[in-house]
Amino acid sequence: MKFTVKSGNPEKQRSACLVLGVFENRRLSAPARSVDKASHGFIGGVLRRGDLPGQPGQTLLLHNVPGVLADRVLLVGCGKEREFDETKFQTAVSAAARYLNDTGATEAVNCLTELPIKGRDLYWNLRQAVIATEDALYRFEQCKSEVQKVRKPLKRMTLSVPSRRNLDHGEAAVREGTAIAAGMNLAKDLGNLPGNICTPTYLADTARELARKSRKAKVTVLDEKAMEKLGMGALLSVARGSREPARLITLEYRGGRKDRKPVVLVGKGVTFDSGGISLKPGQSMDEMKFDMCGAASVLGTLRTVIELELPINVVGIIPATENLPDGQATKPGDIVTSMSGQTIEILNTDAEGRLILCDALTYAGRYEPDAVIDIATLTGACVIALGSHAAGLLTNHAPLGNELLNAGRAARDRAWELPLWDDYQQQLESNFADMQNIGGREAGTITAACFLSRFTRDYRWAHLDIAGVAWKQGKEKGATGRPVPLLTQYLLHKAGH
Ligand code: BES
Ligand code: MN
Ligand code: ZN
């Protein structure tokens, strides 16, 4: 989809379709009011007849609206005017995108961007309109033998701004939104691909392909032999049960000054998590193909960073493997030595994410990072604690945590902090090794982070548990592309945006 920005009276826009917001109780948005005036009360008349009560996301297509140059007018309900907020904005924009895609209009002028939202500015509206539109139109069809073609898909959308003075600023917002949406789409595609296609090798190939797009990007891929040499016994203990070779993928982007320390993003890349010998129950096990969504968000974020050529240094590190049962697989009770030298008693092979992350986090120290953020579908407990609205955030550095929480709020991709108090560390004590890999039933998300914290003592570190937010279940099952918006927002801030 191609987005542009334009100012001017809505009724004077030559377009296949003009999109206008209307509120409940027949209240018109400013652009709708302008059209109503030009059409001598046509819009008001339609609403008076009760055809569009105005609940969020309702749509009504009008033809032959007098005094309007556009072929059609699409009215979109926005709820009560006083209650209009970010969520309703998103609902309205998505509804418009879906409706337009199913009508004959391949192009439209969208005036929803002019609706004021408390605490947000025009830049935000424009950027978010791009992201919400791309999100609404996303389809995963790579694995269908026959793709249902949309008869006349929406191809171009013009976003309306109040004045010519907003155009430059608006174009920057669109550019940013487009890059974020592209990063999210990559993360969604990788997440949605099945485990037999999206293997560790596939993730490595994707990273290589990404790096080809920029001279500032470079990829290195370590195989199991190289990991052995580095002493990554924890990571390799997970890979033992799988015939699919594990990979440690590093994607370095150097867009900033040479002497600037990089932000390192570490993404969990378990391309399928069966639980291993501690086998998971069969119900919904297919969803464990999404257990590489942390890795996908790292690649997605780097895609956005590369596209925007941000003047910062970012390193993405992805430990990638499957977790499967096998005669050679790691067994409960096995003890392994991590790259850090610390030994781990593996009491549950299904707590594999922390095992691959701990070695990747030790490896991250080599980059003398400014900060390290790991992103992982780490614990079912996080889904219980926060549901699907917020990612869990745990950190050893409060200011870093706050930056990430703020980035999440700004991008509407929120995280919520859980405590990383030392009090929880005792749950990881083992009789036989330096630590065990599970901490019992209580506070599962926190003890998982406590485990990781034992490998991140040398730098500022934050952990995002995205188990609840990375994909949707049910009829709309699929990857969400989160937390690419949060991560890019954090990096945009670093880049001085
Ligand atoms: N990938 C899972 C976490 C997960 C489960 C995410 C369900 C989303 C939905 C992770 O590897 C795992 O299995 N964690 C265990 C840890 C436990 C054994 C301590 C869990 O959460 O049950
Ligand atoms: Mn697991
Ligand atoms: Zn897992």
Ligand 1, from 348, 350, 358, 472: best to mutate by most atoms within 8 Å of Cβ? 350
DSSP 367-428: G--SEEEEEE---HHHHHHHTTT-EEEEES-HHHHHHHHHHHHHHT--EEE----GGGGGGG
- pLDDT, averaged across the chain: 97
Looking at domain 181-494, its CATH class is alpha beta
Among the listed residues 354, 412, 414, 494, the single catalytic one is: 354
- 33 is known as an active-site residue: no
- 289 is known as an active-site residue: no
Indicate which residue's Cα is closest to atom 8 of ligand 1. Answer: 467
Indicate which residue's Cα is closest to atom 22 of ligand 1. Answer: 380
Among the listed residues 98, 156, 280, 409, the single catalytic one is: 280
Question: Within 10 Å of residue 91's Cβ, how many Cβ atoms?
Answer: 21
- Determine the distance separating the centroid of ligand 3 and the alpha carbon of 326, expressed in angstroms: 17
- The domains of the chain are located at 2-161, 181-494
Per-residue pLDDT for 263 more than 90? Answer: yes
How far apart (Å, rounded) are the C-alpha atoms in residues 406 and 402?
6
Q: Give the phi and the psi of residue 282 in degrees, each rounded to 5.
A: -65, -30
Residues 26-50: tens digit of each pLDDT: 999 999 999 999 999 999 999 999 9
- Determine the distance separating the centroid of ligand 1 and the alpha carbon of 494, expressed in angstroms: 32
pLDDT band at 401 (very low <50, low <70, confident <90, very high): very high
Q: Give the phi and the psi of residue 395 in degrees, each rounded to 5.
A: -150, 155
- Determine the distance separating the centroid of ligand 3 and the alpha carbon of 242, expressed in angstroms: 14
Residue type, 23: F
How far apart (Å, rounded) are the C-alpha atoms in residues 430 and 383?
27
DSSP 141-196: -TT-SS----SS---EEEEEESSGGGHHHHHHHHHHHHHHHHHHHHHHHHHHS-TT
DSSP 446-478: HHHHHHHHTT-TTS-EEEEE-TTTSEE-GGG-E
Ligand 1, from 285, 379, 383: best to mutate by most atoms within 8 Å of Cβ? 379
Per-residue pLDDT for 394 more than 90? Answer: yes
How far apart (Å, rounded) are the C-alpha atoms in residues 464 and 382?
10
Ligand nearest, relative to CA of residue 285: 1
Residues 317-332: tens digit of each pLDDT: 999 999 999 999 999 9
State the pLDDT at residue 151: 80
- Determine the distance separating the centroid of ligand 3 and the alpha carbon of 291, expressed in angstroms: 5
Residues 120-162: tens digit of each pLDDT: 999 999 999 999 999 999 999 999 999 888 788 999 999 999 9
State the pLDDT at residue 148: 82
Biggest CA-to-CA distance, the chain = 82
The CA-atom distances, in angstroms, between 497 and each of 45, 171, 259, 406, 489 are 45, 14, 20, 14, 9
Indicate which residue's Cα is closest to atom 17 of ligand 1. Answer: 351
State the pLDDT at residue 492: 98
Partners of residue 2 on adjacent β-strands: 156
State the pLDDT at residue 150: 78
State the pLDDT at residue 308: 98
State the pLDDT at residue 481: 98
Q: What is the CATH number of domain 2-161?
A: 3.40.220.10
Which position has the token pair 């440690």? Answer: 248
Partners of residue 448 on adjacent β-strands: none
- Determine the distance separating the centroid of ligand 1 and the alpha carbon of 101, expressed in angstroms: 38
| Cα–Cα nearest to 157, from 141, 178, 139, 185 | 178
Residues 185-244: tens digit of each pLDDT: 999 999 999 999 999 999 999 999 999 999 999 999 999 999 999 999 999 999 999 999
> Which numbered atom of ligand 1 lies nearest the CA of 468?
8
How far apart (Å, rounded) are the C-alpha atoms in residues 175 and 220?
29
Per-residue pLDDT for 104 more than 90? Answer: no
> Which numbered atom of ligand 1 lies nearest the CA of 291?
1
The CA-atom distances, in angstroms, between 182 and each of 89, 179, 308, 315 are 21, 5, 11, 19
State the pLDDT at residue 147: 86
